[in-house]
Structure 1
Amino acid sequence: MARTIGVIGMGYVGLTLTAALARKGFIVHGVDVQPAVVDSLNRGRPHIYEPGVAEALTEHVGSSVFIDTALPRDTVDAAVICVSTPVDPQTQRPDLTNLAAAARQVAEWCAPGTLVVVRSTVPVGASRRVVLPPLLEAWGEVKLVMAPERTIQGQALRELVELPQVIGGLDEASLDAGLDLFGGLAERLVPVTGLETAELTKLANNCHTDLIYAYGNEIALIAERHGLDPLEVIRAANVDYPRPDLAKPGYVGGGCLSKDPYILISEAGDRPPFLVEPARRLNEYLPVHVARTVVGLIREAFEGTQGARLAVLGWAYKGWPATDDMRGTPIAAMMPVFAEAGLTVLGHDPLVSDTVIRQYGGEPTSLDKAFSDADAVLVINDHPDYRAIELDSVLGASKPLFVFDSWRILDEAALNRAGVRYAGIGYRPQAVSA
């Protein structure tokens, strides 16, 4: 008989888990507080882009996947909490309001003995401090595990099965129940000694990624100061060298990497972290630095910026694996700089809707018009559509004076031959005449 699982929160984490569980034969009851999301999912239309999710919903909604604003009472074998745990934009302290509310709802909806899984990213100790008390009060005895989500957007359904699942339990019975549940989903399980170990494991993974990218960005900023090519430096450093590769410079956003470092920082106590906080500041500074650089290049070309037209390609926080996620997107930090300079910003993204581009202050445009109707082009993400641009087809009589290619995916030589200046993060060669 198929096991029945409740998933609380139909954001990226909860929806992808729902789809993956359904594909493995589980019956899944998903919960979301937004009626519009519930309605859309019940019609098989996901509100987020993730390869494979729409197909899974089409196949399973109404038969083994059911979405509502509450769980059916005393029905599920396990309840998985996947709600958002944001940080306050002013204090940068974690806000666990959603987590606490979900714990209270699980205590109300589910029968004693139900396995409760915390999947959300939380501060160390939050599962025990925030989730456990309402369950104990309602049930007396609790089976509770922390099993953090670790997938990358664009590959979530594959990684939910292939990536090792880290699981920490309140006690041995809880851990056994958690291992049994995720054994029906994932190929490999990594049991750890408790809730707190699993919580810190997730934070350690994401903050390490933030640090790695920050170092690449640091090298780029130093290379820029000396007129060097940071990619040449990084490639040379990496050739057959037996220590960890250096990362290319680039923007670091998304729902996790823009938030989780602050959760880890909140756990450091009286002594601020030596590495995590400065790395996060650097990664948040980079989009502002690029925006100011682009404005400076426009000023050099036009002896002013008011009314100049800038085409921005890539509004989602990353281009590959492709996503429509705007959380932590570089454009959010860039737009105030562009607005202050009086630029008109044209926007294009293969997955982000025109409505969202307008919400951020851009004017939607097509890919070909981005190169013919703008004075300058800024490529923010590396979506495959941008990697595949045939410059001969988009560069006509009317063409931009320069292209700032954040990911260095376009043909610099071809742009220079056409009389278009080329630049990138930490890379500002002189203009080349056509």
Structure 2
Amino acid sequence: MGINTVAVIGLGYIGLPTAAILASKDVTVVGVDVNLSTVEAINRGDVPFVEPDLAMYVAGAVQQGTLRATATPEPADAFIVAVPTPFRGDHEPDLSYVESAAKTLAPQLRGGELLILESTSPPGATRKMAEWVLEARPDLSLDGADGHPQIHVAHCPERVLPGRVMIELVTNDRIVGGLTPEAAQMAKDLYAIFCQGEILLTDAVTAEMAKLVENSFRDVNIAFANEISLIADRVGVDVWELIRLANHHPRVNVLQPGPGVGGHCIAVDPWFLVDAAPEQARLIRTAREVNDSKPRWVVDKAVAAVEGIEAPTIAALGLTFKADIDDLRESPARRIVAELADRLPRAQVLAVDPHVQQLPAELARRENVDLGDLDQALGADVVMVLVDHSDFRTALTEDATGRISVIDTRGVLA
């Protein structure tokens, strides 16, 4: 069957851009989200978060009538599930959002539909989603057995960078893994509507693993840089100069250290591999532990820097997980500010971020944390550079910071 209508379940940082770009190609798209304010914003042609060019795509598609949003699924030729897949407890994958999406869309199926799990997932999650659908709809099947109408299920993980999503959705290669070869080909045909990169076909579990391996590779390399920063600090060496010199070797490319690792992918996905094979994923686990421990090291540095000051003011520059976006997911800066405020109850912690208009809830409820501006920050006893926003790189010079203590976790002053 041809695909004329697509339902996108989950209108977050991946679901909404995917819905908008499909709608821009004259596909009729219904976006589904449990957050009513998100639904209402999209139906007005607005976007609930900042991503370059996304607002233009959404406004145009809504105006053309190819995109609308609702709180409950409707019948469609294809369903793309793009819901959160966090972890819980001792870093076990939490597939409850996927399960909820599967059971919610199941009543809308009539047979022949394509179901795609786009959420980054542990091995076996795509098949599990199919099982949840078939539990709710035993009259359907994956193979047409016993004359039951067939559904087609595939996994296609997103591979985009926040801040470049609308570009990379089009230009990046995609990996598509099906529970059957037919499902994989159907999913490839759907993504080919807008994807100019190569679309690579495989099975569903390999596709799931590929995304986890990509992000774990990054995490391990960041952990190496973060560990080097700890060693350099211990022996009194400028880590930025050290890495710059080491990278002059033709076969060395050390990444830049930071205050930890954030975002919805790199800080989460490696744990899915650890959970899948805990005895084998030793290096991956250690890298996660190194990166997860870096925020505590930054807090310790700040506490030491204000020792002897009865009621210090400490400025934290940046709250988002990376530069020049408003995405706060898994941000190590949030953890640093919260822990510092708790460790130093008599201190005033000024959080400064040009992309954040209000403090996240866990910071707003701490009485000694306030949202400040850069001028206020430069009058603090200690300044922590936690995110390398462009505004900070422009404003932070040796002249501006020469009289204050600076903990530069991003190499802005290097």
TM-score, L = length of structure 1: 0.86
Tell me the residue number matched to 2:125.
126
From 382, 385, 391, the equivalent of 1:385 is 391
Contact between 2:99 and 2:132, CA under 8 Å: does it hold in 1?
no
Whole-Å separation in 2 of the counterparts to 1:29 and 1:64: 8
Alignment of 1:289-300 (within 5 A): 289-299=297-307
Length, aligned pairs only? 396
Tell me the residue number matched to 1:432.
none
From 253, 266, 270, the equivalent of 1:245 is 253
From 255, 258, 279, the equivalent of 2:267 is 258
Deviation (angstroms), 1:91: 2.0
Aligned Cα RMSD in Å?
2.0
Structure 1 segments of 4+ aligned residues over 6 angstroms from their partners: none
Kindly tell me: are residues 347 and 133 of structure 1, through their superposed partners in 2, closer, same or farther at Cα, counting changes over 3 Å? closer
Alignment of 1:316-395 (within 5 A): 316-319=320-323, 322-334=324-336, 335-342=338-345, 343-356=347-360, 358-359=363-364, 361=366, 362-372=369-379, 374-389=380-395, 391=397
Describe the superposition over 1:177-202 as per-residue Cα deviations: whole angstroms up to 9, x where unpaired: 11111111111233333110100001
Deviation (angstroms), 1:133: 4.5
Whole-Å separation in 1 of the counterparts to 2:293 and 2:180: 43
Contact between 1:31 and 1:67, CA under 8 Å: does it hold in 2?
yes
TM-score, L = length of structure 2: 0.90
Contact between 1:295 and 1:338, CA under 8 Å: does it hold in 2?
no
Whole-Å separation in 2 of the counterparts to 1:28 and 1:313: 40
What one-letter code is carried by the residue in structure 1 that aligns with 2:382?
A
SS of the residue corresponding to residue 256 of structure 1 reads: coil
Tell me the residue number matched to 1:423.
none
Contact between 1:120 and 1:148, CA under 8 Å: does it hold in 2?
yes
Stretch of structure 1 that moved more, 253-262 or 54-63: 54-63
Contact between 2:216 and 2:270, CA under 8 Å: does it hold in 1?
yes
Q: Does 1:14 align with 2:15?
A: yes
Whole-Å separation in 1 of the counterparts to 2:51 and 2:9: 19
Tell me the residue number matched to 1:185.
194
Contact between 2:3 and 2:190, CA under 8 Å: does it hold in 1?
no
Describe the superposition over 1:9-28 as per-residue Cα deviations: whole angstroms up to 9, x where unpaired: 01111012112222333221
Contact between 1:308 and 1:375, CA under 8 Å: does it hold in 2?
yes
Deviation (angstroms), 1:307: 1.6
Contact between 1:5 and 1:80, CA under 8 Å: does it hold in 2?
yes
From 194, 215, 235, the equivalent of 2:224 is 215
Whole-Å separation in 1 of the counterparts to 2:158 and 2:364: 30
From 308, 312, 317, the equivalent of 1:308 is 312
Tell me the residue number matched to 1:70.
72
SS of the residue corresponding to residue 116 of structure 1 reads: strand
Deviation (angstroms), 1:354: 2.4
Kindly tell me: are residues 3 and 189 of structure 1, through their superposed partners in 2, closer, same or farther at Cα, counting changes over 3 Å? farther
Kindly tell me: are residues 400 and 71 of structure 1, through their superposed partners in 2, closer, same or farther at Cα, counting changes over 3 Å? farther
Deviation (angstroms), 1:379: 1.1
SS of the residue corresponding to residue 129 of structure 1 reads: helix
Tell me the residue number matched to 1:92.
91
From 203, 211, 236, the equivalent of 1:202 is 211
Contact between 1:107 and 1:138, CA under 8 Å: does it hold in 2?
no
From 146, 156, 177, the equivalent of 2:165 is 156
Tell me the residue number matched to 1:428.
none
Kindly tell me: are residues 2 and 64 of structure 1, through their superposed partners in 2, closer, same or farther at Cα, counting changes over 3 Å? farther
Structure 2: runs of 5 or more not aligned:
142-149
Q: Percent identity?
A: 32
Whole-Å separation in 2 of the counterparts to 1:386 and 1:54: 26
Kindly tell me: are residues 360 and 381 of structure 1, through their superposed partners in 2, closer, same or farther at Cα, counting changes over 3 Å? farther
Contact between 1:317 and 1:327, CA under 8 Å: does it hold in 2?
yes
Deviation (angstroms), 1:68: 0.4
Contact between 1:314 and 1:381, CA under 8 Å: does it hold in 2?
yes
Q: Does 1:403 align with 2:402?
A: no
Kindly tell me: are residues 206 and 360 of structure 1, through their superposed partners in 2, closer, same or farther at Cα, counting changes over 3 Å? farther
Describe the superposition over 1:301-347 as per-residue Cα deviations: whole angstroms up to 9, x where unpaired: xx24x42001111111111xx22111111133222234212321011
Contact between 1:86 and 1:95, CA under 8 Å: does it hold in 2?
yes
Deviation (angstroms), 1:2: 8.2
Structure 1: runs of 5 or more not aligned:
413-434
What one-letter code is carried by the residue in structure 1 that aligns with 2:211?
K
Whole-Å separation in 2 of the counterparts to 1:168 and 1:330: 33
